[in-house]
Structure 1
Amino acid sequence: MSSSSLGVVTVSEQTRDAFRGKTVLLTGASGGLGAQLALQLASCGVKTLVLSGRKQEALEPIAKQCQEVEMNSVTSASTSTTTTTTILCLTCDLSDKESVSKLGQDVLKACDNAVDVLIHCGGVSSRSNFVDTAFEIDETVMQINFLSGVSLCHALVPGMMQNNGRGGRVIWISSVQGLVGIPSRTSYAASKFAVQGYCEALRAEVASSNVTVHCVSPGYIRTNLSKSALTGDGTAHGKMDVTTENGADPQDVAVEILDKVAKGRNDFIVAATPSAKAAIWLRLLCPGLLQTLLVKRFEKSQKKEKED
């Protein structure tokens, strides 16, 4: 991690070298962490940066910012190490299987059947008790957070494995809640636990083909994740949770993620609070105590809801 002349946190030179000249597909690029990852990748001199999100009008401003970042990077860098970046926008609704399948096909077509890096950042959270959650919401959250990524892996990873020895990278943004399941997040926790297991198994299968798999578990980040979270009937939560509002800066988190990937880290946690880190250790060392604490947390939240 380093700072530019303007005081903006940027990725390290090692990270720029790791991503320079690569073709990258980034989902969830319309805002929040995804947008910040896009801007940092643009500064790395990637060959092609494919930005994906639900709405074209939300992607276009990010693409424009990426072009500006890339131009500034080219101007300030030595001409012998610069790469002109092609930036493309491809819309995709991760909740729609056909839309995800089409994204996989379209990105291969646009990138001459070769994608070096898949960053699956798109996702949705949930906010509802188990008894208040329709089964269809469980399915939707699982499709967006897990199955869409599986579909993209099927589309892109075989090409990475046959990439003339160059290999590739899969970077999947999971969550601390994929390590510890907290009350009123059953759908979300299930989808993120699935991501953890899938990445662990996939990593072993593709390692000999020089493909690396990185599962990133962020804590709270200042994004709109809680506002767009699905409630039990499918409506948006529509509120900025205090924990999210006080979360880490998405720019700092984006830089930390890319820097750690460039250093070869596979499974790692970012932006986690001390309590989240403690919960992860308790799950391993003292699961009974963690269970007691989670029950108390749930009972406290239910009492507060009744009082409100």
Structure 2
Amino acid sequence: MSFFNNKVVVVTGGSDGIGRALVDALLEKGARVATCGRNHDKLYQLQTNYAGQPLFIYTADVSREIDCDNFIKETVKHYGTIDILINNAGISMRALFNETDLETLRRVMDTNFWGTVYCTKFALPYITKQKGTVTGVSSIAGYRGLPGRTGYSSSKFAINGFFEALRTEMLESGVNIMWVCPGFTTSNIRNAALTKDASAQGSSPMDEGAMMSAEECAAQIMDAIEKRKRTHVFTMNDKRTVFLNKLIPSITDKLVRKFFYKNGELVK
């Protein structure tokens, strides 16, 4: 029997990318799933695809505290409890800081950091009763700041710090607080990434075909949850980056710049 069988699992941002892959995989494993997103039509199509299965959908913008509160309340009303929360919803950005409107950074922080805080705050009492798991989907950008992504990196550093502090507070509660750090993953996140004026980028500057699939990413997240890990950095390249950034940060600055820049221009 699957570890996730009959567990109530909440996934934010479940209509696209990693979130959608998580919903698919969790339902296959027998979980009772609740998910939210801003696009009602995509959520409705998702529910239609899984008609008759234990999937609860709710239209919500996680950057809004009231939406998160209502989403969690409606999930508990529907299922009775929550065993696992996966804070997956997030947006990215691509713009140099000195050219960027502050609204871009504000929107990234509101969604990535505050959305995680809101949902965790409202779900934690139920998860504590179940001695379950709270998971944050962070990024290598939460360990190493990336050029063109000052707001994104800031939000992910904040998520890592938030979960590390919360994990320590909850250490004797039976609740597992953890965060996972996927590498570059094929999803819509780069197409929807905000530019300097907070508009959507519309296309990805990266080679999407060379990236980890959303399905593989979801599988690794679920494995980490089942093993009740503290944290999980997915790829060997990202683990190497974390290590080098601690050991030789000034050299890592140059290596990271070389990866993202060509002829003095940000190309990734």
Normalising by structure 1, report the TM-score. Answer: 0.80
1:28 aligns with 2:13: yes
Q: 1:287 corresponds to which residue?
A: 249
The DSSP-based 3-state class of the residue aligned with 2:171 is helix
Q: How far 1:148 sits from its partner (Å)?
A: 1.0
When residues 189 and 155 of structure 1 are mapped into structure 2, their CA distance, relative to the original with a 3 A threshold, is same
Q: How far 1:245 sits from its partner (Å)?
A: 3.8
1:168 and 1:210 in contact (8 A); partners too? yes
Q: 1:96 corresponds to which residue?
A: 64
The DSSP-based 3-state class of the residue aligned with 1:265 is coil
Q: 1:58 corresponds to which residue?
A: 42
2:63 and 2:114 in contact (8 A); partners too? no
2:86 and 2:135 in contact (8 A); partners too? yes
Q: 2:109 corresponds to which residue?
A: 142
Report the AA paired with residue 127 of structure 1: R
Q: 1:188 corresponds to which residue?
A: 152
2:56 and 2:75 in contact (8 A); partners too? no
Report the AA paired with residue 218 of structure 1: P
Structure 1 residue runs without a partner (length 5+):
1-12, 69-84
Q: 1:277 corresponds to which residue?
A: 239
The DSSP-based 3-state class of the residue aligned with 2:172 is helix
Query: Deviations for 1:199-229, whole angstroms, at most 9, x for unmatched residues?
Result: 1111121232211112010011111111000
The DSSP-based 3-state class of the residue aligned with 1:216 is strand
State the number of aligned residues.
267
CA distance in structure 2 between the aligned counterparts of 1:105 and 1:235, rounded to whole angstroms: 32
Q: 2:75 corresponds to which residue?
A: 107
Q: 1:262 corresponds to which residue?
A: 226
Q: How far 1:66 sits from its partner (Å)?
A: 4.1
Q: How far 1:298 sits from its partner (Å)?
A: 6.0
Equivalent in 32, 44, 50 of residue 29 of structure 2: 44
Q: How far 1:90 sits from its partner (Å)?
A: 0.6
CA distance in structure 2 between the aligned counterparts of 1:293 and 1:171, rounded to whole angstroms: 30
How many percent identity over aligned positions? Answer: 29
Query: Deviations for 1:55-99, whole angstroms, at most 9, x for unmatched residues?
Result: 22101232344458xxxxxxxxxxxxxxxx521111111233332
Q: 1:86 corresponds to which residue?
A: 54
1:38 and 1:66 in contact (8 A); partners too? no
1:39 and 1:65 in contact (8 A); partners too? no
CA distance in structure 1 between the aligned counterparts of 2:265 and 2:153, rounded to whole angstroms: 23
The DSSP-based 3-state class of the residue aligned with 2:262 is helix
Equivalent in 101, 126, 139 of residue 175 of structure 1: 139
Q: How far 1:119 sits from its partner (Å)?
A: 0.8
- Shifted more, 94-103 versus 254-263: the winner is 94-103
CA distance in structure 2 between the aligned counterparts of 1:266 and 1:247, rounded to whole angstroms: 24
The DSSP-based 3-state class of the residue aligned with 1:89 is strand
Q: How far 1:192 sits from its partner (Å)?
A: 0.5
Q: How far 1:143 sits from its partner (Å)?
A: 0.8
Structure 2 residue runs without a partner (length 5+):
none
- Between structure 1 and structure 2, the one with the greater Rg is 1
CA distance in structure 2 between the aligned counterparts of 1:263 and 1:198, rounded to whole angstroms: 21
1:226 and 1:244 in contact (8 A); partners too? no
1:34 and 1:121 in contact (8 A); partners too? yes
When residues 49 and 303 of structure 1 are mapped into structure 2, their CA distance, relative to the original with a 3 A threshold, is closer
Query: Deviations for 1:114-163, whole angstroms, at most 9, x for unmatched residues?
Result: 211111111000100001111122111111001111011110102222x1
Report the AA paired with residue 41 of structure 2: E
Give the structure with the larger helix fraction: 1
When residues 243 and 219 of structure 1 are mapped into structure 2, their CA distance, relative to the original with a 3 A threshold, is farther
Q: 1:5 corresponds to which residue?
A: none
- Shifted more, 234-243 versus 35-44: the winner is 234-243
